[in-house]
Amino acid sequence: MHQAIFTTHFLCFNNQFYDAIWLRVKLYDYIATKKEREIIKKNQGFELVIEPLQIDDEMEALYTLYRKSMSYQMSQSLSDLLYAGEFDSCYNTLAFKVYDDTKLIAVGILDIGALSSAGISCFYDPSYKKYSLGKFLMFQKMAYCRQEGMAYFYPGYVVPGYKAFDYKMDVGTPTLEYFNMVTQNWLDAGKIQEYATPLNCMYFKLHQMQAYLQESGTCNFHFYRYFDASLDPIYSGLGLLDFPVMIKVIDTGSLKNDECKIVVYDVRDDRFHILLCNSLYTVIPYNAQEIVFTADLLQVQHVIISSSQMNIIKRVLFTD
């Protein structure tokens, strides 16, 4: 995102929340598949040019054309996507440009590291959709990286329930891996369907907890819209709440006006956590009825207690 290296395990499109499951291809074991050969053959009439990235009007016009055809929100321009107002790149970035005669029809952006590379973006003329140009560019990036002796290629993430990213599961299939947030390991992507996604698990656990806590006090379940705020360099390092699902406890005790108690569930340690948070910035008045919490940008002051036992969480919350 822009000139930052970031990782997020959750996404929000149009106030709908999703898991982001990251992928990588082991290039040192990779053998081209039949699908890869077919797509490359389909596009053999086009010219591929690989060069250092220099954004120009032609690329911006193509990006705008592509952005308008997408169902999800994208940056307003290619410059904003990659630089966000900065003028110099801190990465070694290549542009993979595809031409139909003299017409630019597709561009892929690749960041090069010492032993691996990241496919930052692909965009193309929607009228050429039948040529699978997104996959074609992925395969060309992988071929380039194998030639350069790199170990891994990172194509980005897939989003369960959001098909726009499903095409990445067809890229590098023989050695494609996904990152399991629970185990913190890279595993065979062929078993990704067995993965109980973190967002669903958090949702289920916190709904159970809300019903249990409601007997003693008012607790409101919310999705938290600003879970990814710390990805913005302006807010990085401020200890912001980064859980997409939470329970806000309505506490009449000795909390300050800008403080609140939040209950979250972390799939990585299988525990509930009571967090004391304060409002770093109030956006709108709090509405307990809204499922998506957008009232405040929350900062975590400290963890009050962590436990896998609901009765312990309840006792700490409602016992003075």
Structure confidence by residue, pLDDT tens digits, 165-180: 888 888 888 899 999 9
Whole-number pLDDT of residue 84: 65
Residue keyed to tokens 């819209």: 225
Average pLDDT, integer, range 190-209: 93
User: Mean pLDDT, the chain, as a whole number?
Assistant: 90
Question: Could you tell me how many residues make up the chain?
Answer: 320
The model carries a pTM of 0.84
For the chain, give the percent of residues with pLDDT over 90: 69
- Both tokens assigned to 262: 């939040």
> Per DSSP, which regions of the chain are E strands?
10-13, 16-19, 21-26, 47-52, 92-100, 103-112, 116-124, 152-158, 176-180, 185-188, 219-224, 245-249, 259-266, 271-282, 292-293, 296-307
d(CA 104, CA 140) in angstroms, rounded, equals 16
* Beta bridge partners of residue 179, listed in sequence order: 186
d(CA 63, CA 105) in angstroms, rounded, equals 10
pLDDT higher than threshold 70 for residue 90: no
Structure confidence by residue, pLDDT tens digits, 32-41: 889 899 999 9
Contact 175, 25 (CB under 8 A): yes
**Which pLDDT band, with edges at 50, 70 and 90, does 88 fall under?**
low
Average pLDDT, integer, range 168-193: 91
Helices (H), 86-197: 133-147
